[in-house]
């Protein structure tokens, strides 16, 4: 109970600061970030206490809808996601404290930032459908308003418009999901829903509605189109929150419905999240690897990570439906750890992109380059984030990836043919996604931070303010620690796993060393990050010592060799687009029907040669452009109804009456 009081006080204070900032403005705008940071710390401590202490805090307040009131509940699941949310909030707030009050703070952003933070925390606390949807909408609208903060930019307006439409569709879907869960009696409190299992058909519809609702917020293909537009359009620390944290709230919602409220699963529930997740993971990265805008690449990669998490959740559903709780715990642990890890490295990368944007004023990869020389610390932090998101050991991204692969390798043991024959395809697609993630972030880092500057702005970039470096550095340290101490994190997940799938990972001491991560049993597979990292460290130090002793230690700086023809112009470097060209030719021709045509003028003609690439976004065509066109055409047809004679209108009304009456007569 004390936990909820503390949370309530923190959230209340935060909303108070938001109101002050919105009304008084002035110096209160700058107060938002320290207040958010403090609130994040308080809320994080509460979450940690609930998660590790194993308690459940509940409250019932007589506000809200008269018949329901307001139910609040903080259990292991919401506490874990609270930690995810508030870690990201803390980093984003620290970054915000480095913003220039006079130039970079407006009443359009800062008050809404605090409101957005409070709304995300409220979603996690809500324990009835009304409170949940209210805070969910608050979260959507606050982030929408943050997207449209730069409303003079037509790109932002378009992004915000699409976001608003998709958020509305998502909320409607969730409305149906909760309606189905409440049943005919209309029990809107989660505790009532938990105790009544819906009919199988209804349950399936609820699951699909939840998938649409959460998928549209998380960016599951084909509901993703708004995300790569809206996330980059917001200020960078808000992008970090939207991408790193808000997508996790969507995943929380799916877990809450599918693993908590909906009762025991049927095996085929696993198929929609797995199929959509795999598709999202691969396509998201293909979009990312072909895009040239730093922040949009990050947003596309968020889509990929959400897809990976949904695959893990789908596997957890499949294992749980078959009573394989151990494997379900592995899949669930992969999903949860990936949520946590992604919130760290994606926030890190978005904040890093913000620093780059501030230092150079550019987001296009082909205009950056050589930032490692001008922004040495940011470059190190960004490198950690890039390697972590590429799922490379010994960083944190690989821990969840490893657990997920272990879960996939247990999938052939599932009795349903559809699932165990799908398992190699899932494994191969996830491996492709991992390899593409490495490609994507080598490309991003290689063009933005390495090489030579491609523009005057990049050549004169400056390092970020200290407090922003602290935010980036803290997240980078978390990425390293999370990679080394994955087994500790997996242990801390115990209560959440027990709550969602009723089992946990093998505990401490089951592996040969105390910090080794064991998925099933040590005979089967082990990932011992500390030992590997230690040996890599020892091996590199020993190599360094030996090589320096044996070799001529002379080093000379000279012009680049480049096969004997170095060109001083930085334009001769490989760009982000040229880096992506082989990938576009291999994958893009199928996925996006990408075609390139080269217009080479004949000798003697002075025109420049031209390379044109045309590609088709099938998802946009099929799910957005065509339906929108149909809708327009339909409304044009219906437009004719506005200009009828009164006789016709009366006839129509009479026909409607007859039809309704005959329906009533037939059904009763």
CB 82 within 8 A of CB 43: yes
Q: Which stretch binds another protein (CB under 8 A): 68-76, 170-178, 218-226, 581-589?
A: 581-589
d(CA 240, CA 152): 22
Q: What b/e sequence results for 14-29 when a residue is b if at least 16 CB atoms lie within 10 Å of its CB, and e otherwise?
A: bbebbebbbeeeeebb
Of 13-52, binders to another protein (CB under 8 A) are none
CB of 271 to another protein, least distance (A): 18
Give the one residue of 67, 154, 185, 554 binding another protein; rule: CB under 8 A.
Answer: 554
d(CA 244, CA 143): 13
CB of 286 to another protein, least distance (A): 10
Name the 3-class secondary structure at 502: coil
CB of 551 to another protein, least distance (A): 4
d(CA 114, CA 39): 10
Neighbours of 662 (CB within 10 A): 10
Q: Which stretch binds another protein (CB under 8 A): 340-348, 470-478, 576-584, 650-658?
A: 576-584
Cβ closest to another protein, residue 208 vs residue 409:
409
Give yes or no for residue 527 binding another protein (CB under 8 A): yes
Cβ closest to another protein, residue 80 vs residue 441:
441
Cβ closest to another protein, residue 285 vs residue 355:
285
DSSP state of 452: -
Residue 364 pairs in a beta bridge with: 293
CB of 221 to another protein, least distance (A): 19
Give yes or no for residue 561 binding another protein (CB under 8 A): yes
Give yes or no for residue 528 binding another protein (CB under 8 A): yes
CB of 280 to another protein, least distance (A): 17
Give the one residue of 166, 245, 408, 492 binding another protein; rule: CB under 8 A.
Answer: 408
Q: What are phi and psi of 615, to 5 degrees?
A: -140, 160
Q: Which stretch binds another protein (CB under 8 A): 29-37, 117-125, 337-345, 395-403?
A: 395-403
Q: What are phi and psi of 382, to 5 degrees?
A: -65, -35
Q: What are phi and psi of 472, to 5 degrees?
A: -65, -45
CB of 445 to another protein, least distance (A): 6
Give yes or no for residue 372 binding another protein (CB under 8 A): yes
Name the 3-class secondary structure at 614: strand
Give yes or no for residue 214 binding another protein (CB under 8 A): no
Of 435-454, binders to another protein (CB under 8 A) are 435-436, 438-439, 441-443, 445-447, 450-452
Neighbours of 252 (CB within 10 A): 23
d(CA 244, CA 302): 8
Among 356, 444, 348, which residue's Cα sits nearest to residue 396? 348
Residue 193 CA, chain-centre distance (Å), reads 28
Give yes or no for residue 637 binding another protein (CB under 8 A): no
Q: Which stretch binds another protein (CB under 8 A): 310-318, 415-423, 642-650, 658-666?
A: 415-423
d(CA 632, CA 627): 9
d(CA 666, CA 658): 12
Give yes or no for residue 555 binding another protein (CB under 8 A): yes
Give the one residue of 269, 398, 592, 624 binding another protein; rule: CB under 8 A.
Answer: 398
Give yes or no for residue 415 binding another protein (CB under 8 A): no
Give yes or no for residue 423 binding another protein (CB under 8 A): yes
Which distant-in-sequence residues (6+ apart) come within 8 Å of 4 by Cβ? 57, 58, 59, 72, 74, 125
d(CA 70, CA 119): 15
Give yes or no for residue 579 binding another protein (CB under 8 A): yes
d(CA 359, CA 578): 25
d(CA 488, CA 529): 12
d(CA 63, CA 56): 21
Cβ closest to another protein, residue 103 vs residue 556:
556
Any idea of the CA torsion for 61, 63, 65, 71, to the nearest 10 degrees? Answer: -30
Cβ closest to another protein, residue 63 vs residue 560:
560
Give yes or no for residue 377 binding another protein (CB under 8 A): no
Cβ closest to another protein, residue 162 vs residue 583:
583
CB of 377 to another protein, least distance (A): 12
Give yes or no for residue 460 binding another protein (CB under 8 A): no
Q: Which stretch binds another protein (CB under 8 A): 230-238, 254-262, 343-351, 564-572?
A: 564-572
3-state secondary structure 163-185: HHHHHHHHHHHHHHHHHHHHCCC
Give yes or no for residue 595 binding another protein (CB under 8 A): no
Cβ closest to another protein, residue 235 vs residue 370:
370
Give the one residue of 323, 514, 566, 651 binding another protein; rule: CB under 8 A.
Answer: 566
Give yes or no for residue 516 binding another protein (CB under 8 A): yes
Give yes or no for residue 202 binding another protein (CB under 8 A): no
Name the 3-class secondary structure at 668: coil
Give yes or no for residue 539 binding another protein (CB under 8 A): yes
If binding means CB under 8 A, how many residues of this protein chain bind another protein?
91
Give yes or no for residue 664 binding another protein (CB under 8 A): no
Which H or E run includes 446?
helix 417-448
Give the one residue of 41, 432, 480, 613 binding another protein; rule: CB under 8 A.
Answer: 432
Q: Which stretch binds another protein (CB under 8 A): 183-191, 358-366, 427-435, 463-471?
A: 427-435
């Amino acid at each position: 109970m004390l936990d909820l009081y503390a949370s309530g006080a923190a959230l209340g204070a935060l909303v108070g600061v938001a109101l002050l900032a919105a009304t008084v403005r002035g110096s209160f705008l700058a107060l938002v970030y320290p207040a958010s940071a403090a609130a994040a710390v308080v809320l994080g401590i509460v979450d940690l206490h609930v998660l590790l202490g194993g308690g459940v805090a509940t409250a019932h307040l007589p506000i809200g809808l008269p018949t329901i009131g307001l139910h609040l509940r903080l259990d292991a699941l919401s506490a874990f996601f609270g930690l995810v949310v508030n870690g990201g909030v803390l980093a984003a707030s620290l970054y915000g404290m480095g913003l220039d009050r006079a130039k970079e703070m407006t009443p359009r952003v800062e008050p809404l930032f605090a409101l957005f933070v409070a709304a995300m925390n409220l979603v996690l606390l809500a324990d009835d459908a009304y409170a949940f949807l209210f805070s969910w909408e608050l979260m959507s609208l606050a982030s929408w308003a943050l997207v449209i903060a730069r409303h003079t930019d037509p790109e932002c307006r378009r992004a915000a418009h699409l976001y608003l439409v998709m958020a509305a569709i998502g909320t409607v879907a969730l409305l149906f999901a909760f309606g189905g869960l409440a049943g005919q009696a209309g029990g809107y409190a989660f505790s009532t829903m938990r105790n009544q299992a819906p009919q199988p058909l209804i349950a399936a519809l609820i699951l699909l509605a939840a998938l649409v609702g959460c998928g549209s917020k998380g960016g599951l293909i084909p509901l993703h189109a708004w995300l790569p537009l809206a996330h980059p359009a917001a200020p960078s620390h808000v992008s970090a929150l939207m991408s790193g944290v808000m997508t996790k709230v969507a995943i929380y919602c799916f877990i809450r419905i599918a693993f908590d409220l909906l009762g025991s699963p049927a095996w085929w529930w696993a198929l929609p999240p797995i199929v959509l997740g795999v598709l999202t993971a691969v396509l998201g990265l293909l979009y990312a690897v072909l895009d040239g805008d730093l922040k949009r690449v990050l947003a596309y990669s968020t889509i990929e990570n959400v897809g990976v998490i949904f695959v893990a959740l789908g596997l957890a559903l499949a294992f749980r439906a078959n009573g394989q709780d151990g494997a379900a715990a592995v899949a669930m642990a992969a999903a949860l750890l990936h949520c946590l890890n992604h919130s760290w490295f994606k926030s890190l990368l978005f904040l890093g992109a913000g620093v780059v944007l501030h230092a150079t004023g550019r987001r296009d990869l082909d205009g950056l380059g050589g930032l490692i020389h001008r922004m040495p610390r940011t470059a190190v932090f960004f490198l950690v984030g890039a390697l972590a998101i590429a799922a490379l050991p010994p960083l944190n991204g690989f821990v969840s990836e490893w657990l997920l692969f272990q879960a996939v390798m247990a999938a052939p043991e599932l009795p349903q043919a559809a699932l165990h024959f799908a398992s190699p395809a899932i494994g191969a697609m996830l491996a492709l996604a991992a390899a593409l993630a490495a490609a994507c972030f080598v490309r991003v880092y290689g063009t933005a931070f390495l090489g030579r500057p491609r523009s005057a702005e990049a050549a004169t970039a400056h390092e970020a303010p200290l407090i922003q470096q602290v935010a980036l550095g803290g997240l980078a340290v978390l990425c390293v620690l999370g990679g080394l101490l994955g087994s500790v994190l997996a242990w801390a997940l115990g209560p959440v796993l027990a709550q969602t799938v009723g089992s946990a990972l093998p505990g401490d001491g089951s592996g040969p060393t105390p910090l080794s991560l064991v998925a099933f049993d040590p005979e089967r597979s082990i990932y011992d990050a500390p030992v590997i990292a230690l040996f890599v460290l020892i091996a590199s130090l020993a190599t360094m010592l030996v090589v320096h002793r044996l070799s001529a230690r002379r080093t000379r700086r000279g012009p680049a060799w480049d096969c004997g023809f170095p060109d001083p112009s930085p334009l001769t470097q490989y760009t982000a687009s040229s880096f992506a060209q082989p990938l576009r030719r291999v994958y893009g021709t199928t996925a996006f029907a990408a075609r390139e045509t080269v217009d080479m003028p004949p000798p003697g003609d002075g025109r420049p040669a031209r390379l044109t690439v045309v590609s088709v976004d099938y998802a946009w065509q099929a799910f957005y452009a065509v339906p929108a066109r149909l809708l327009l055409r339909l409304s044009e047809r219906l437009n004719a109804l506005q200009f009828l004679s009164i006789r016709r209108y009366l006839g129509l009304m009479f026909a409607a009456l007859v039809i309704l009456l005959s329906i009533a007569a037939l059904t009763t």
